[in-house]
Amino acid sequence: MPEVQAALTCINSHNGEIVAMVGGYDYHTTQFNNATQGLRQTGSAYKPFIYTAAVEDGMTPDMIVSGAPIKRGGWTPHNYDGSLSHGNVPMKIACEIVQYCCGPPARTGRHPGRSTDGASIWHQQSDGSEFAVGTGSK
């Protein structure tokens, strides 16, 4: 069995139906489905969806998004370079800077007008900040 495995869930964007799911190399050997049981972090993969939802909800690329440090309970996310903030920037700039990961996506992902279906999943467990920066796994 390979050391590296992957999972994929393909969803019909029109009705939310699961079209295909692959959970690993050989379920019969491990009885573990990475797609449904593997609690993995998404990294920056959610960021395009967060910013797209923000634009759909009325945010413009020129709107300023705070890059101030965030603290939610005992959780304080750090940027790629270890810093806690990078200052305020327009959303279009925050989208371009991969290392600029914590403040803007976390705040944009919590934009009050947000209406994405994923928001309801996030709110069941938290305010969604950790999912917006790719650290949420549950």
> What confidence tens digit (pLDDT) does each residue in 87-104 have?
788 888 877 765 554 455
CA distances (Å), origin 54, targets 47, 66, 80, 125:
11, 14, 23, 20
Residue 102 sits in the same domain as residue 73: yes
Tokens 């449904």 locate to 36
- Report the chain's mean pLDDT, rounded to a whole number: 71
Residue 33 sits in the same domain as residue 50: no
Count of structural domains, the chain: 2
Could you give the 3-state DSSP secondary structure of residue 50? helix
Residue 130's pLDDT is 54
Residue 106's pLDDT is 56
Residue 121 sits in the same domain as residue 60: yes
Residue 78 sits in the same domain as residue 125: yes
Residue 62 sits in the same domain as residue 122: yes
Distance, C-alpha 68 to centroid of its chain: 19
Alpha helices in the chain (DSSP H): 27-30, 34-37, 47-56, 91-96, 103-108, 117-125, 129-132
Residue 17 sits in the same domain as residue 57: no
More confident residue, 99 or 116: 99
Q: How confident is the model at residue 134 (pLDDT cuts 50, 70, 90)?
A: low
Q: Is residue 137 part of a domain?
A: no
Residue 95 to residue 97: CA distance in whole angstroms: 6
- Containing domain of residue 21, as a range? 8-37
Contact predicate 65/88, CB 8 Å: yes
Exposure on the CB side of residue 79, measured as CA atoms within 13 A: 18
Residue 85 sits in the same domain as residue 126: yes
Q: Is residue 138 part of a domain?
A: no
Q: Is residue 2 part of a domain?
A: no
Q: What is the pLDDT of residues 4-30, one digit of tens each?
A: 888 888 999 899 899 999 988 888 888
Q: Is the pLDDT of residue 105 over 60?
A: no
Q: What is the pTM of this model?
A: 0.52
